[in-house]
Amino acid sequence: MDYEIKFLERDAVEKVEGDEKAKSLIDKNGLVLASAFAMITPDSSVIDRWNVNYFNAETSELTNFLVKGDDVTHIETSKRIHDTEIKPIDMSKITIPVTKILSSAMERSELEFPHETNKIFITLHHNNEYKNECWTITLFSTNLFLYKIKIDAITGKIVSSEMKHLLK
């Protein structure tokens, strides 16, 4: 699947934290950066928007901002679904940008994922298992298989990969 990246995750975070309304909400509620998410689909093969999520440890709520171009929109604040501990992302540690991560993931998927990719989910987060900032790239196929690859966001090393069927 071909794709084009209009702006990076770092740019999206900077836009949120530079937006007056978003910054006020972040500061007022003591929010910490929890994740950044983008998606590639057959209808939209251009990464031109990012969802940037902030976490409030006191209320266990996630606040989601959509960044598209220069626009920052507060989408929602909602209770978390999972009980896993959320640690803040330290953007100063992120040395491998999404461009290189996607190239690495796509190369690896050619060897391990024999299915036609329909959608790609891209998530930057702190991974408690690896105790580091981590990229998770998830490829979905039209025949309900998924391939998940985790890549250390500091070293670029692939730390795990797995393929499974969504109905099994």
pTM of the model: 0.91
The closest alpha carbon to 36, from 149, 134, 158, 147, belongs to 134
Across the chain, mean pLDDT equals: 91
Buried b (16+ CB within 10 A) or exposed e, 103-112: ebbbebbeee
Q: Which residue ranges make up each domain of the chain?
A: 91-165
Contacts 24+ apart (CB under 8 A), 11-20: 12/36, 12/50, 12/52, 12/67, 13/52, 13/91, 15/67, 15/70, 15/72, 16/52, 16/65, 16/67, 16/72, 19/65, 19/72
Q: Per-residue pLDDT tens for 122-164?
A: 999 998 888 899 999 999 999 999 999 999 999 999 999 999 9
pLDDT for residue 130: 80
pLDDT of 43 over the 80 cut: no
pLDDT for residue 85: 78
pLDDT for residue 6: 85
Spatial contact of 5 and 83, defined as CB atoms under 8 Å apart: no
Residues in the chain: 168
Reported confidence tier of residue 165, pLDDT bands at 50, 70, 90: very high
- 64 CB neighbour count, 10 Å cutoff: 17
pLDDT for residue 1: 62
pLDDT for residue 24: 96
The alpha carbon of residue 143 and the mean position of all alpha carbons in its chain are separated, in whole angstroms, by: 24
Q: Per-residue pLDDT tens for 106-127?
A: 999 999 999 988 999 999 999 8
pLDDT of 81 over the 80 cut: no
Q: Per-residue pLDDT tens for 46-57?
A: 888 999 999 999
The CATH number of domain 91-165 is 1.10.260: no
